Structure 1
């Protein structure tokens, strides 16, 4: 009963603040404040507040939550034990390949050679003049 009264008072105060905000011609903010202030009133009218209060102050409900937590801990413990037993039972040769490894596990990285020329075009040595000549060509092309 007290929780419902408090929620109704909060809703009434929020609607009053929304009215003052609308009077100051801040209609968007007033609508937002009105929406927030109607939430507690809606919870009171649906009975959610009464259910929450009855649950929060009920010793049998707390015992029930404790039993649910204990059941969850038992499930988690059996799951961990089951996974440890399964990991010990798998022989090392039958383990699956680790994810994220090489596509072909026997493959090696390609060698870079002895530092000679590579296939295709031979590389030419680049100088600072070559870099600037490319830039000059681009600038001339655009008329700069």
Structure 2
């Protein structure tokens, strides 16, 4: 019962702050504040606060969270090991990348065929950032 009161008070305070912000002609910010303020009110109205309070003091629920965490940890560990093995074996995803690129078969098609766009020359990293550096220098950064 205390949690519902606190959440309702937080929602009321947030809506009050949103009203003051709207009065100051900052409607976008007021709308965002009102959206955040309505979340605790919605949680109270749906009964999620009571469920959360019941869950927070339940040892079985905490054991369930522990099991979920262990499952997630095992899943992420296996993904990491698979990625390291594929990189060490030299796969590294190049098989999929080469098959997906339409330019891999471009030399066999010829340069003058219709529907095949010529490949653009790749720029070096120093050329890519040259114009950005010029803009930053212009603004004194």
TM-score (norm 2): 0.48
Report the structure, 1 or 2, having the larger helix content: 2
